[in-house]
Amino acid sequence: RERAVWGSARRAQTAAKRLCWAGISFILLFFIIIKGKCPEDEWDESTIELFLHELAVMDSNNFLGNCGVGEREGRVASGLVARRHYRLIHGIGRSGDISAVQPKAAGSSLLNKLTNSVVLDIIKLAGVRTVTSCFVVPMATGMSLTLCFLTLRHKRPKAKYIIWPRIDQKSCFKSMITAGFEPVVIENVLEGDELRTDIKAVEAKIKVLGAENILCVHSTTSCFAPRVPDRLEELAVICANYDIPHIVNNAYGVQSSKCMHLIQQGARVGRIDAFVQSLDKNFMVPVGGAIIAGFSESFIQEISKMYPGRASASPSLDVLITLLSLGTSGYKQLLKERKEMFSYLSSELKKLADIHNERLLDTPHNPISLAMSLKNLDENNDAAVTQLGSMLFTRQVSGARVVPCGSVQTVNNYTFEGFMSHTNDYPCAYLNAASAIGIKKQDVDIFLKRLDKCLKTFRKEVKKEETKMQIL
Ligand SMILES: *Cc1c(COP(=O)(O)O)cnc(C)c1O
Ligand SMILES: *[C@@H]1O[C@H](CO)[C@@H](O)[C@H](O)[C@H]1NC(C)=O
């Protein structure tokens, strides 16, 4: 009899606990689900932790008295690992669809839906107001583009080619190769210092190849100067006229209102099927995720259905935590600071360039990346440009990218002349610097100081560097 009493007491306690959790969950979830939006003000860390805990207790692996006899039961051997994931172990999606609800894991599924909804809100806020659908994928940008191409493959069985205005980033190129298509490289045209989309060449190529043989046009917004974002409006109009899908690589474009505006305009006047952006480059989270977004809910759903199996919830969790802890006001503030730092970097780099008898290249269409010529340095000393690169690197300047003239590189059996510079023969060597989200004035100041030092002492330093390199 005593055992029976204890048993029913324990059951009552468990039920009470569940009700209590459910009550709190309900309040918190209500708060966001009603809006399905990113809160304006940031949440503090303990609120976010409580919220994640509420979600976790809705997953079956965390039920009291759960017994699992399946092959995937969310068992985790290490407590450290369990805590690293806030006990959300089941991942997202079901075997048939990465966006589907998993009944074993109501909490994780809710997390997934909520993340996608909050992220959609941020994309709208960042400038693509008419976006209708998006989802987070636990793959970086290149693989996410591949997934888009593979989805289109079923709709266009005859297609073999992808029209691609050149951008010298290997993952862009490989995303098409991996999907099994043949990239048709459209060389950029030089307008002043800028490298811009050759719209006429795109249209001519479509006529030569035949629209039905083309899978899609694959354009790019964010890129290194002196290349500038593609002429999205014109490309989108061509795609609409020839009935060719259009996939946009918006890798780090969410942080720039200009890139987002281009996408919005492209979709308004022409055709954009999907645009893909990196999580780490836009939201200050670890590498590992991307967002696939678009204007047709059914097409975005088709892409999410192409993903085989379940997926890691980590990228979704990271971006949700980040957005809740920033709020829209915090994110907007980061965007504003980035823009201010871009102007600052631009004016200071121009001053530095003038002092060293070089030029800040005139690339007004690129809102994130800048380029400073290294013409004189290059002409006085052949090896100087690459040496400057290594000097900056050893002085802990990361991300400044030195581009010499005429480097040749083969990617997947395709040879690019002038690789890194987005064109076969750019008129001069140059150095890139970017103002990306999270950058601080201190980053800019220290970079300029070190660059100045390198350039000043360059002639003296070259010999020392050479011997140092030889010793190394
Ligand atoms: C970063 C980047 C990529 C590749 O991104 P991953 O996330 O590494 O796949 C592709 N294109 C552009 C323009 C990029 O900046
Ligand atoms: C690369 O191209 C060469 C010559 O066209 C060819 O022989 C080789 O098989 C190709 N390699 C791959 C991996 O496609």
Structure-token pair, residue 159: 């297609």
Q: Please tell me the predicted confidence (pLDDT) of residue 51.
A: 87
Q: What is the mean pLDDT of residues 282-303?
A: 97
**Mean predicted lDDT score pLDDT of the chain:** 91
Residue 209, both tokens: 């190849």
The pLDDT of residue 458 is 74
Q: CB-based contacts of 381: which residues, under 8 Å, 6+ apart?
A: 462
State residue 442 phi and psi, 5-degree precision: -60, -40
> What's the half-sphere exposure (Cβ side, CA atoms, 13 Å) at 383?
9
Residues in the chain, how many? 472
Are the CB atoms for 37 and 319 separated by under 8 Å?
A: no
Specify the residue for token string 């207790």.
Answer: 57
Q: What is the reported pLDDT for 17? A: 66
Lowest mean pLDDT among 219-223, 257-261, 302-306, 380-384: 380-384
Q: Which of 63-67, 126-130, 397-401 has the lowest mean pLDDT?
A: 63-67
- Determine the distance separating the centroid of ligand 1 and the alpha carbon of 142, expressed in angstroms: 6
| H or E segment to which residue 184 belongs | strand 182-186
Range picked from 23-37, 102-116, 174-188, 368-382 for highest mean pLDDT: 174-188
Which of 139, 143, 169, 228 to mutate to test ligand 1, by most ligand atoms within 8 A of the CB atom? 169
Residue 206 exposed, middle or buried by CB count within 10 Å (0-12, 13-18, 19+)? buried
The answer on pLDDT for 26 being more than 90 is no
Ligand 1 atom at minimal distance to the Cα of residue 142:
9
Q: Among 98-102, 330-334, 362-366, which is the least confidently predicted range?
A: 98-102
pLDDT digits (tens, 9 = 90+) for 368-416: 999 999 998 888 777 888 889 999 999 999 999 999 988 899 988 899 9
pTM (predicted TM-score): 0.90
Better-scored residue on pLDDT, 57 or 297: 297
Is pLDDT above 80 for 6? no
Which of 146, 164, 171 has most ligand 1 atoms within 8 Å of its beta carbon, as the pocket-test mutant? 171
pLDDT at residue number 50: 86
The model's pLDDT over 140-161, given as tens digits with 9 standing for 90+, comes to: 999 999 999 999 999 999 999 9
Are 405 and 415 in contact by the 8 Å Cβ rule? The answer is: no
User: Which of the residue ranges 20-34, 227-241, 275-289 would you say has the lowest mean pLDDT?
Assistant: 20-34
Q: How far apart are CA 386 and CA 404, in angstroms?
A: 7
Least confident of 167-171, 305-309, 380-384: 380-384
The order of strands in the sheet holding 369-373 is 369-373, 430-434, 401-403
Residue 199 dihedral angles phi and psi, to the nearest 5°: -60, -40
Calculate mean pLDDT across residues 325-349. 97
Q: Which of 24, 90, 32 is nearest to 323 (CA)?
A: 32
Ligand 1 close to Cβ of residue 260 (< 6 A): no
Give which of 143, 138, 145 is closest to 287, Cα–Cα: 138
| Per-residue pLDDT at 32 | 64
Q: Residue 183 pairs with which residues in a beta bridge? A: 162
Q: Which ligand has an atom closest to residue 434 CA?
A: 1
pLDDT at 222: 97
What single letter denotes the amino acid at residue 212?
E
pLDDT at 73 over 70: yes
pLDDT at position 61? 83
Question: Given pLDDT bands bounded at 50, 70 and 90, which one contains residue 463?
Answer: low
Stretch 289-312: mean pLDDT = 95
Alpha-carbon torsion, ordered 312, 314, 319, 322, to 10 deg: 170
pLDDT grade for 284, boundaries at 50, 70 and 90: very high
Q: How far is CA 122 from CA 119, 134, 321, 452, in A?
A: 5, 11, 14, 38
Question: Residue 388 Cα, ligand 1 centroid: separation in angstroms?
Answer: 25
Backbone angles phi, psi at 352, to 5 degrees: -60, -45
Percent of the chain with pLDDT over 70: 92
Cα distance between residue 252 and residue 231, in whole Å? 17
- Ligand minimally distant from the alpha carbon of residue 415: 2
Whether 169 lines ligand 1, by a CB cut-off of 6 Å, is yes
User: Is residue 187 within 8 Å of residue 201, measured between CB atoms?
Assistant: yes
Which has the higher per-residue pLDDT, 5 or 422?
422
**pLDDT surpassing 60 at residue 30:** no
Predicted confidence at residue 412, as pLDDT, reads 86
**Nearest atom of ligand 1 to the alpha carbon of 140:** 7
Token digits for 353? 């360039």
Of all ligands present, the nearest one to the C-alpha of 412 is 2
Which pLDDT value is given to residue 104?
Answer: 82
Q: Which residues contact 19 (CB under 8 A, 6 or more apart)?
A: none
Q: Distance, CA 412 to ligand 2 centroid (Å)?
A: 9
Atom of ligand 1 at shortest range from CA of 281: 1
Q: Which of 29-38, 56-65, 66-75 has the lowest average pLDDT?
A: 29-38
Q: How far apart are CA 398 and CA 225, in angstroms?
A: 17
Distance 251 CA to ligand 1 centre (A): 5
Indicate whether 34 pLDDT > 80.
no
